[in-house]
């Protein structure tokens, strides 16, 4: 017991030190490329954490995360055009994404497995078409599209958007740790393993799936709104793009789905791929798809899942793991 407490304390102190260093990077005049890489890392980490919550721990293969990102981005843009503070736009965007999740939950939760995935993948495309027909607020319509700049975004420095992404990314980790160590995490795992058994055991399946879906939408919306402050411009084709779905799936699967720390490792890999594949933009999606299939075939449990099998129990990797109690009964 004492060893476990000491280990957890050491991990907590190490995490605090890392966070403090990351927070002070802009003040220490770190290269702008570092700030950009880390900004994307925290954004992808947030998205991957929330998709891991749904797919890895609840069994919901949601392919509509791009809808939450796009809606949050457009809400932010509208708030900016009417002169409201950016932080209100970010929070409002997250709330709009959460409300949208509530509205679509009634029809899509009637579907299971592959049918749920198919039912959710069409939603971003529907929103893309709708927003292509929408006239920008306070702007001039150019061609056929509702794309326009986020008013005043140029006044927000790269350091400020970096700190925003850092806070949201750390917040997503805290949310995951809290959920996985609560009764909600245990109930979600039961639903993932066998929804019918969970229902007969007295678990309100619809309510708990809705909780996780709304939480995922809200936090995803925060990351999406922060991203479009940095981007300074939003348009339907990219805002509701399948690229978002591919990115968060890659980050989760590469790191290890159903593994708490998987999105951290996976997001590092995805950021590296993002810049390596930038010169091959025409084939980027194809290459990412091939990588995703290769990882799923060769290492179905991702990098961390493979390491768990290959490294000995006394290894540093195992020492640093702090898994939910319902995943590791021996820690009870």
> Domain limits at 137?
42-327
For 69-90, b where at least 16 C-beta lie within 10 A, e where not — what string?
A: bbbbbbbbbbbbbeeeebeebb
Does 24 reside within a domain?
no
Check pLDDT > 90 for residue 43: yes
Residues 172-183: what's their mean pLDDT?
Answer: 92
The number of folded domains in the chain is 1
Residues 195-219: what's their mean pLDDT?
Answer: 90
Does 286 reside within a domain?
yes
Does 214 reside within a domain?
yes
Residue 249: which residues within 8 A CB-CB, separation 6 or more?
51, 292
Q: What is the length of the chain?
A: 332
Per DSSP, the three-state class of 232 is coil
Provide the percentage of residues in the chain whose pLDDT is more than 90: 48
Does 1 reside within a domain?
no
In the block, tokens 């008013």 appear at: 151
- Collect contacts of 82-90 with beta carbons under 8 A, ≥24 apart: 82/137, 82/138, 86/152, 86/153, 86/156, 86/229, 89/225, 90/164, 90/222, 90/225, 90/226, 90/229
Does 3 reside within a domain?
no
Single pTM value for the model: 0.88
Does 281 reside within a domain?
yes
Does 12 reside within a domain?
no
d(CA 229, CA 156): 8
Does 17 reside within a domain?
no
Residues 93-129 have pLDDT tens digits of 999 999 999 999 989 998 888 899 999 999 999 999 8
Residues 251-308 have pLDDT tens digits of 999 999 989 899 999 999 999 988 888 777 777 778 888 888 888 888 778 888 888 7
């Amino acid at each position: 017991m004492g060893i476990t407490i000491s280990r957890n304390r050491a991990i907590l102190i190490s995490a605090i030190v890392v966070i403090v260093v990351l927070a002070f990077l802009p003040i220490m005049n770190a290269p702008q490329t570092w700030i950009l890489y880390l900004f994307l890392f925290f954004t992808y980490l947030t998205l991957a954490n929330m998709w891991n919550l749904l797919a890895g721990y609840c069994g919901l293969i949601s392919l509509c995360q791009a809808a939450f990102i796009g809606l949050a981005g457009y809400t932010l843009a509208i708030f900016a055009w009417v002169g409201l503070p950016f932080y209100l736009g970010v929070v409002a965007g997250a709330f709009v994404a959460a409300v949208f999740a509530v509205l679509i939950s009634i029809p899509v939760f009637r579907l299971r497995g592959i049918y749920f995935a198919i039912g959710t993948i069409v939603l971003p495309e529907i929103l893309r078409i709708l927003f292509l027909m929408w006239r920008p607020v306070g702007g001039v319509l150019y061609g056929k599209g509702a794309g326009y700049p986020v008013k005043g975004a140029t006044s927000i420095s790269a350091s400020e958007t970096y700190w925003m992404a850092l806070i949201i990314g750390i917040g997503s980790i805290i949310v995951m740790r809290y959920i996985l160590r609560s009764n909600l995490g245990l109930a979600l795992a039961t639903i993932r393993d066998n929804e019918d058994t969970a229902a007969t055991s007295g678990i309100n399946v619809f309510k708990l799936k809705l909780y996780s879906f709304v939480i995922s939408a809200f936090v995803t919306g925060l990351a999406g709104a922060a991203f479009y402050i940095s981007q300074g411009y939003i348009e339907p084709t990219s805002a509701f793009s399948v690229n978002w779905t591919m990115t968060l799936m890659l980050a989760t699967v590469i790191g290890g789905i159903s593994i708490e720390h998987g999105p951290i490792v996976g997001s590092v890999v995805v950021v590296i791929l993002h810049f390596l594949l930038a010169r091959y933009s025409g084939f980027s999606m194809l290459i990412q798809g091939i990588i995703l299939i290769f990882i799923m075939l060769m290492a179905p449990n991702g990098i961390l899942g493979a390491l768990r099998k290959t490294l000995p129990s006394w290894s540093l990797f195992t020492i640093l793991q702090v898994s939910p109690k319902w995943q590791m009964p021996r820690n009870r």
